[in-house]
């Protein structure tokens, strides 16, 4: 099979014929055994030309290569968008983004009306399990539809201070471990398993021995991650082979999108739609699949109908991809046309979106300055033929217009409000913008910036983000200011500047940056929310509350806004309002454990101890490791006079969190009252180790050491405590400890002096 070169004079109908398949058409039921099981492995951010089977000599991908040796390797497979969630949404619906509606990694959700591959498989009696390794594929985005078991399990409370994506991505070994457990739990029932390996995504930090096998360069580090991900694919295949199920399993391994690696000046992906980000590896092996290399153009949307056909299942009516069975058999087939897009430049910076269409070897990119490439003679897309071959460019542009019209009735994509703490997580994942600006979606008469003219500016903002992640806040601030000097109307850049200045505690400067963002887009949610938070940081609670209330009106489902709103109301002792907002968040099913914890704190502040206990216990049942919840439960038990239960709750907090100095301190006080002096002393010691400036803790430790007869240590702890701004109510204790130490040493004069100081402080505290 050879690639078809589209003819400049070919009729439009010929090029357009392969765009869509007829809804509900019967699948191929020709020769070959039917599989019983389905395994789909998506290797995130894997470009085709870095795999050994695709001709890359430096690769170490033996498992992908062996899979290709016994199955079909698609030489020219393309994705629909260089972003994870949209690409997977197309994979599992067989539809283009304009149809299923997911056009970005944030603010878009795969709707319940979409019929997914997992839903079809489940309805046909297969066990369905999904195992993912990145938050952008969390179930909240709708991608888990149809999976009986879905391993996402991202505890967002663990990532409040995440420095970057590496802090929250899950290694492939963890994902495969869970997948193997699930596969082993039932070896008789047919299954559909989806395993997502995120490792080739930045940062490229492969474990040993993979890291050392490749050069210490950007490309080498990327290759090492691919090799590691390949090894995890190998574990899955080996397990199925060992228990005799591989021969009955259709295995599909593919990338969701590629990686630019600096080509066309883009280091990663998401911005451009050039081949390094769009062309993906696609390998299919299993029952009835002959060893072959398919050189015809195929799309990620073709995977679902092709898979269903192998199982003898009709495709749902919404599927827009084609069954590739004729190509697998080496038979002539209608040529397909590939489409991809990127709305990222427009959503987050107000520049133009990019749309591309490929027919044969010709590829058109619709941009303010169109681009046309002949991929057979110019695979790296370096020679733009749009002006020298205007007829081809016009034909493909017309074809693109017709295709987009057939895919969707929507003029422009409409993002939904991002809920919970999702925007924070997306920023940590390296996606700069997390809230598409409504201002950027509005039609405008003036042309939008061409992304290829803005790549240096985009890279400058990426550099600022990288500097911030490394803790170089001042450098990040200066870098984003350089970007704004070039284009002062980038809303996201003003928000970034505000974030960096807030991190440096320059609250007034941060307020100014957020206000400039809101001057450009008065309803930019992230700018509004961030401005409210910086007011809160600065102690301007009324201003913070006003901003949070407005943010809540704009985005009623956003959990992080509700949480901050309730927390601010609690600080202002408006308990009824806080309770109402917390209950509304629970009704929306937003991060249940966290909101139950906050509601427990609210009831505790109101003096409603029993409801507080119930909510805190529910929070811990939902998330046993939720930081602070067991400590709060200890406070409730302590106020209710349940001392053993309070100690147990504090000990639980301590066991789960190394930085729990308050739990150590409270437990120590109760242990001391319960005649458990040694345990109390150990907890006091641990509290000040965690928080050396905790003056009150030093004074309590001094008393415990005095009671144990360690006069030197008691004196040292008392002096440290008095130097470190203890609670004024506890300050006299330090002087009494010193008085006792001096008295036992026979220094009555010094003892009397400390007693006098202590009594004077007590008198002042009493208002005398």
Residue pLDDT, tens place only, 476-494: 999 999 999 999 988 889 9
341 forms bridges with which residues in the sheet? 355
Provide the pLDDT for residue 431: 34
430 pLDDT above the threshold of 90: no
Q: Which of 19-33, 294-308, 366-380, 529-543 has the lowest mean pLDDT?
A: 19-33
Q: Of all residues in the chain, what percent carry a pLDDT higher than 90?
A: 77
Q: What pLDDT is stored for residue 23 in this prediction?
A: 34
Band of pLDDT at residue 164, cut at 50, 70 and 90: very low
pLDDT at position 350: 85
Mean pLDDT across 435-450: 65
Instruction: Please check the confidence at residue 284 and state whether its pLDDT lies above 80.
Output: yes
Rounded Cα gap, residues 490 and 346, in angstroms: 11
- Averaged over 88-111, what is the pLDDT? 91
- Structure confidence at residue 565 (pLDDT): 94
pLDDT at position 416 is 53
Q: How confident is the model at residue 584 (pLDDT cuts 50, 70, 90)?
A: very high
Query: Region 287-305: what's the mean pLDDT?
Result: 97
Question: What sign does the dihedral 306-312-318-322 (CA atoms) show?
Answer: positive
Check if the beta carbon of residue 511 is closer than 8 Å to that of residue 533: no
Pick from 292, 300, 313, 241: nearest CA to 77: 300
For residues 682-698, average pLDDT = 95
How far is residue 467's CA from residue 483's CA, in Å, rounded to a whole number? 14
pLDDT band at 436 (very low <50, low <70, confident <90, very high): low
Query: Angle at CA 437, nearest 5°, toward 435 and 441?
Result: 135
**For residue 226, pLDDT beyond 70:** yes
Residue range 43-72: average pLDDT?
97
Using a 10 angstrom Cβ sphere, with 0-12 exposed, 13-18 middle and 19 or more buried, the burial of residue 573 is exposed
Instruction: Please state, rounded to an integer, the average pLDDT across all residues of the chain.
Output: 89
Read off φ and ψ for residue 287, nearest 5 degrees.
-55, 130
- Region of poorest pLDDT, from 80-94, 148-162, 494-508, 551-565: 148-162
Token representation of residue 733: 């204790």
Which is more confidently placed, 713 or 420? 713
Is the Cβ–Cβ distance between 16 and 407 less than 8 Å?
Answer: no
Q: Is the pLDDT of residue 425 over 50?
A: no
For 510, the enclosing helix (H) or strand (E) is helix 507-520
* pLDDT given for residue 8 in this prediction: 38
pLDDT at 356 over 90: yes
Instruction: Check whether 159 has a pLDDT greater than 90.
Output: no
93: pLDDT confidence band, cut at 50, 70 and 90?
very high
- Checking if the pLDDT of 672 tops 70, the result is yes
pLDDT surpasses 50 at 206:
yes
What whole-number percentage of the chain has pLDDT above 70?
Answer: 89
Q: Taking the alpha carbons of 222, 223, 228, 233 in that order, is the dihedral positive or negative?
A: positive
Q: What is the pLDDT of residue 659?
A: 93
From the CA atom positions of the chain, what is the Rg in Å? 31
| Separation of alpha carbons 195 and 232, rounded Å | 10
CA distance 449 to 455: 11
Distance of alpha carbon 332 from alpha carbon 674, whole angstroms: 85
Nearest to 264 by CA among 371, 400, 389: 371
Taking 90 as the threshold, does the pLDDT of residue 160 lie above it?
Answer: no
Using CA atoms, how far apart are residues 701 and 713, in angstroms rounded to an integer? 9
Listed as own residue / partner, the contacts of 717-720 with beta carbons closer than 8 Å and 24 or more positions apart are 717/688, 720/695
**pLDDT number for residue 349:** 86
Asked if residue 77 has pLDDT above 60, the reply is yes
pLDDT at 335: 93
* Predicted pLDDT at 413: 56
How does residue 446 score in pLDDT terms, banded at 50, 70 and 90? low
Q: Is residue 57 packed enough to be buried (19+ CB in 10 Å), middle (13-18) or exposed (0-12)?
A: exposed
Return the axis-axis angle of helices 541-554 and 525-537, rounded to nearest 10°.
160
d(CA 689, CA 456): 47
User: What is the DSSP secondary structure assignment for residue 355, as one 8-state letter?
Assistant: E
* pLDDT beyond 50 at 496: yes
Q: What is the dihedral angle through the alpha carbons of 47, 49, 52, 57, rounded to the nearest 10 degrees?
A: -140
pLDDT at 13 over 90: no
Q: How many CB atoms lie within 10 A of CB 453?
A: 13
Distance of alpha carbon 363 from alpha carbon 399, whole angstroms: 11
């Amino acid at each position: 099979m050879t690639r078809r070169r589209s003819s400049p004079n070919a009729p439009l109908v010929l090029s357009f014929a392969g765009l869509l398949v007829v809804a509900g058409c019967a699948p191929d039921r020709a020769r070959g055994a039917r599989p019983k099981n389905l395994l789909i492995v998506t290797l995130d951010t894997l470009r085709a030309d870095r795999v050994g089977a695709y001709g890359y000599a430096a690769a170490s991908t033996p498992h992908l290569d062996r899979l290709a040796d016994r199955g079909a390797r698609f030489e020219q497979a393309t994705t629909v968008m260089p972003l994870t969630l949209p690409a997977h949404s197309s994979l599992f619906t067989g539809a283009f983004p304009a149809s299923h509606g997911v056009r970005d990694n944030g603010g878009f959700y795969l709707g319940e009306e979409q019929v997914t591959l997992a839903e079809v498989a489940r309805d046909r009696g297969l066990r369905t399990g999904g195992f993912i390794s990145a938050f952008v594929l969390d179930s909240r985005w709708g991608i888990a539809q149809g999976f009986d078991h879905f391993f996402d399990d991202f505890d967002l409370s663990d990532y409040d201070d995440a420095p970057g994506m590496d802090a929250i991505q899950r290694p492939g070994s963890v994902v495969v471990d869970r997948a193997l457990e699930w596969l082993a739990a039932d070896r008789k029932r047919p299954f559909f398993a989806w395993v997502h390996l995120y490792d080739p995504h930045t940062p490229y930090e492969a474990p040993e021995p993979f890291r050392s096998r490749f050069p210490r360069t950007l490309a080498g580090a990327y290759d090492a991650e691919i090799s590691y991900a390949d090894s995890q694919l190998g574990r899955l295949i080996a397990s199925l082979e060992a228990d005799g199920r591989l021969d009955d399993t259709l295995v599909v391994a593919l990338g969701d999108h590629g990686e630019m690696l600096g080509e066309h000046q883009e280091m990663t992906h998401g911005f451009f739609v050039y081949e390094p980000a769009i062309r993906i590896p696609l390998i299919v092996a299993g029952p009835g699949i002959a060893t072959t290399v398919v050189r015809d153009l195929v799309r990620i949307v073709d995977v679902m109908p092709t898979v269903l056909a192998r199982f003898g299942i009709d495709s749902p009516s919404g599927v827009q991809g084609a069954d590739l069975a004729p190509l697998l058999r080496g038979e002539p087939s209608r040529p397909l046309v590939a489409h991809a897009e990127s709305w990222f430049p427009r959503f987050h910076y107000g520049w133009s979106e990019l749309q591309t269409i490929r027919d044969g070897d010709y590829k058109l990119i619709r941009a303010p300055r169109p681009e046309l490439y002949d991929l057979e003679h110019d695979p790296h897309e370096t020679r733009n033929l749009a002006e020298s071959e205007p007829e081809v460019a016009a034909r493909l542009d017309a074809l693109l217009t017709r295709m987009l019209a057939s895919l969707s009735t929507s003029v422009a994509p409409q993002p939904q409000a991002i809920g919970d703490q999702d925007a924070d997580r997306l920023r940590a994942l390296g996606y700069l913008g997390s809230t598409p600006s409504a201002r950027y979606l509005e039609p405008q008469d003036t042309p939008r910036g061409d992304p290829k003219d803005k790549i240096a500016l985009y890279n400058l903002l990426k550099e600022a983000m990288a500097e911030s992640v490394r803790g170089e806040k001042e450098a990040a601030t200066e870098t984003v200011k350089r970007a704004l000097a070039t284009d002062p109307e980038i809303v996201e850049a003003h928000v970034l500047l505000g974030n960096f200045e807030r991190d440096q505690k320059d609250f007034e400067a941060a307020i100014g940056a957020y206000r400039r963002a809101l001057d450009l887009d008065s309803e930019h949610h992230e700018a509004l929310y961030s401005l409210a938070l910086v007011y809160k940081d600065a102690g301007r609670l009324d201003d913070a509350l006003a901003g949070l209330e407005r943010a809540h009106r704009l985005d009623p489902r956003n959990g992080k806004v509700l949480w901050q709103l309730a927390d601010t109301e609690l600080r202002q002792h408006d308990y009824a309002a806080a309770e109402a907002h917390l209950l509304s968040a629970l009704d929306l099913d937003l991060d249940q454990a966290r909101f139950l914890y906050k509601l427990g704190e609210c009831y505790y502040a109101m003096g409603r101890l029993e409801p507080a206990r119930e909510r805190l216990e529910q929070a811990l049942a939902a998330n046993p490791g939720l930081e602070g919840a067991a400590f709060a439960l200890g406070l409730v038990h302590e106020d209710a006079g349940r001392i053993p239960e309070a100690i147990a709750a504090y000990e639980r907090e301590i066991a789960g969190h190394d930085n729990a100095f308050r739990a150590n301190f409270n437990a120590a006080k109760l242990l001391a009252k319960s005649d458990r002096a040694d345990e109390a002393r150990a907890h006091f010691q641990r509290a000040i180790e965690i928080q050396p400036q905790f003056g009150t803790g030093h004074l309590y430790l001094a008393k415990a050491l005095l009671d144990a007869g360690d006069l030197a240590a008691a004196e040292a702890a008392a002096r440290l405590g008095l130097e470190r701004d203890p609670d004024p109510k506890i300050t006299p204790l330090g002087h009494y400890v010193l008085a006792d130490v001096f008295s036992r040493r026979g220094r009555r004069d010094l003892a009397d002096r400390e007693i006098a100081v202590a009594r004077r402080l007590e008198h002042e505290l009493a208002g005398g």
